């Protein structure tokens, strides 16, 4: 199997009916970038910057952050990297930061909320990224966006940092694209507005499912209580794909779901054309894409979603579809 997947490294990920699917990597540490070459992924679709902060003994200084990102961009060998700003809080604790006593850390002071309330930290990271890009194109996305206003404020902070750097004679990225993670369900009901404001969207299905079904992503006892291939979940994924396409806003799925062949097949059927996943998933997903008829899976999903009731899962039907290919 591994051999088989390795042989696919340079084969373009195109379905039997000619639909190209962008396969990207999720990365967190510099060593992960070695997988870019090994897997033939098109780029890094999710760079989780908090990992480097979590393994550090203390908060990296501005200069250290810039150096980390410089190495990251060098290691990507010219392939695009979508950098996510610090997603700390919740289950991601920095050992050198005072631990907050919160009843519900997943719903607490975390990610972009900290970034907006303590803009010094966010500004330092953004400045380090803008400098480290050193004239290359830069893609930045913000985690746990719950309202369009939060995203607009984050964009304002980026604009101020860019202005500051150019005033001081620094070279800016040739292009700076800003995206929002879609992982808080409230964004589903502001999807047209966020798709207009953002240069791209990235669906964080791990958190989106956790919050949509009120199922703690770390709690095994409740893990099986919902299915991401249920009609309810697929409607959420479909809404995002359709509204983003209508707004001309590119959208990627970067949660674990994109790395599971059956689930990824469903996402393609719903219109997703870019998936970001762990390195080990690239081979199996590419093999699935190569054998897939995108129009056929789309037709199957549409028909089944129209026929089925909320809560029903398309898993059995899609499993049968996958076997019959």
Residues of the shown chain interacting with ligand PEP in the complex, contacts defined by CB under 6 A: 46, 48, 87, 183, 204-207, 254-255
In the bound state with ligand PEP, the residue whose beta carbon lies nearer, of 48 and 260, is 48
Q: Is 150 in the site for Mg ion (CB under 5 A)?
A: no
C-alpha torsion angle, residues 141, 277, 269, 185 (rounded to 10) = -40
Q: Which residue has the tokens 């674990």?
A: 256
Site for Mg ion in 159-198 (CB under 5 A): 183
Nearest 5°: phi and psi at 63?
A: -65, -40
Q: How far is the CB of 237 from ligand PEP (least distance, A)?
A: 12
Q: How far is the CB of 105 from Mg ion (least distance, A)?
A: 13
> Cα–Cα distances in Å, from 204 out to 33, 59, 321?
21, 26, 26
Angular region, 79: left φ>0, alpha ψ -120 to 50, beta rest = beta
Q: Which option in ligand PEP, Mg ion, none does residue 254 bind, with CB closer than 5 to 8 A by kind? A: ligand PEP
Q: Which residue has the tokens 């070459």?
A: 37
- The DSSP string of 197-248 is H-SEEEE-HHHHHHHHTT--TT-HHHHTT--TTBHHHHHHHHHHHHHHHHTT
Q: Which option in ligand PEP, Mg ion, none does residue 48 bind, with CB closer than 5 to 8 A by kind? A: ligand PEP
In the bound state with ligand PEP, the residue whose beta carbon lies nearer, of 25 and 46, is 46
Q: Which option in ligand PEP, Mg ion, none does residue 126 bind, with CB closer than 5 to 8 A by kind? A: none
The answer to whether 207 and 281 are in contact (CB under 8 A) is: no
Q: Is 40 in the site for Mg ion (CB under 5 A)?
A: no
Q: Is 50 in the site for Mg ion (CB under 5 A)?
A: no
- Pick one of 32, 150, 197, 207: the residue that binds Mg ion (CB under 5 A): 207
In the bound state with ligand PEP, the residue whose beta carbon lies nearer, of 179 and 204, is 204
User: Which of 251, 304, 306, 299 minimizes the C-alpha distance to 274?
Assistant: 251
Q: How far is the CB of 46 from ligand PEP (least distance, A)?
A: 6
Residue numbers at the binding site for Mg ion (CB under 5 A): 183, 204, 207
């Amino acid at each position: 199997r591994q051999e088989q997947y390795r042989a696919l490294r340079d084969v373009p990920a195109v379905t039997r009916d000619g639909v190209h699917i962008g396969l990207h990597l999720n990365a967190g540490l510099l060593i992960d970038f070695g997988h870019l070459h090994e897997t033939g992924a098109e780029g890094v679709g999710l760079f989780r910057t908090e990992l480097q902060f979590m393994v550090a003994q203390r908060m990296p200084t501005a200069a250290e952050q810039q150096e980390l990102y410089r190495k990251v961009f060098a290691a990507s060998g010219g392939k695009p990297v979508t950098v996510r700003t610090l997603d700390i809080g919740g289950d991601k604790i920095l050992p050198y930061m005072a631990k907050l006593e919160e009843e519900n850390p997943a719903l607490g002071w975390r990610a972009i909320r900290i970034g907006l309330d303590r803009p010094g930290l966010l500004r330092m990271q953004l400045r380090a990224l803008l400098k480290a890009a050193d004239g290359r194109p830069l893609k930045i996305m913000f985690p746990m966006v719950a309202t369009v206003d939060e995203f607009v404020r984050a964009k304002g902070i980026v604009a101020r940092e860019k202005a500051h750097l150019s005033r001081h004679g620094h070279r800016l990225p040739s292009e700076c694209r800003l995206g929002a993670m879609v992982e808080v369900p409230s964004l589903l009901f502001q999807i047209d507005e966020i798709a207009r404001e953002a240069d791209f969207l990235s669906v964080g299905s791990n958190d989106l499912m956790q919050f949509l079904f009120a199922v703690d992503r770390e709690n095994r006892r409740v893990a099986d209580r919902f299915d991401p291939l249920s009609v309810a979940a697929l409607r959420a994924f479909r809404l995002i794909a359709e509204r983003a396409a209508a707004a001309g806003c590119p959208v990627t799925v970067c949660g674990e779901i994109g790395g599971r062949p059956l689930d990824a097949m469903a996402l393609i059927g719903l219109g997703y054309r870019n998936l970001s996943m762990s390195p080990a998933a690239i081979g199996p997903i590419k093999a699935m894409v190569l054998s897939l008829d995108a129009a056929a899976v789309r037709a199957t999903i549409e028909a089944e979603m129209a026929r089925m009731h909320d809560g029903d899962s398309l898993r059995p039907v899609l499993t049968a579809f996958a076997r019959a290919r």
